[in-house]
Amino acid sequence: MSQLSMTSEQREKFLADAHVGVIAVDRDGRAPLAVPIWYGYEPGGHVYVWTGRGSMKERLIRAAGRFSLVAQDEKPPYRYVSVEGPAEFDESPTADVVRGLAARYLPAEEVDSFVEEAYDDSAIVIRMRPEHWLSVDYGKGA
């Protein structure tokens, strides 16, 4: 293990903090799709993302059966955690799942109005149990 790698506990705590993630998923014959996304995670659990049924993200993840997600600090000392694993699909998530994600990223007073506007019956939640981890904390080398 590199001296800059995080321990299991450090990387799970980092991933559980609120970061905008970037998912990456294979596309046949092209560079992978890589897009920013809100995500949820609790140490020891699944990473989950919310998207619309039929979206490019959902179609590509379903076809690939797996995806990667990276979360990073954008200010020094730079840190990142990348996870990759198989996808599971919740075809009919409740508004509470979307509310939980929104609460990670929005001020409390904006969450309910966001969910009212954004959640509908096309919502799908994609969960991934991390199988492979990469992490770096450039502050560890200082």
Residue 123 phi/psi, 5-degree rounding, is: -65, 140
CA distance linking residue 51 with residue 83, whole number of Å: 19
Tell me the Cα Rg of the chain: 16
CA distances to 64, 104, 120 from 19, in Å:
25, 9, 24
CA distances to 4, 60, 86, 125 from 16, in Å:
19, 25, 19, 17
Kindly report, residue by residue over 2-14, the tens digit of the pLDDT: 688 999 999 999 9
Kindly report, residue by residue over 40-94, the tens digit of the pLDDT: 999 999 999 999 999 999 999 999 999 999 999 988 889 999 999 999 999 999 9
The pLDDT value given to residue 3: 80
Kindly report, residue by residue over 92-106, the tens digit of the pLDDT: 999 999 999 999 999
Domains of the chain listed by start with CATH number: 8-91+125-141 (2.30.110.10)
- Strands 79-90, 132-137: pairing kind: antiparallel
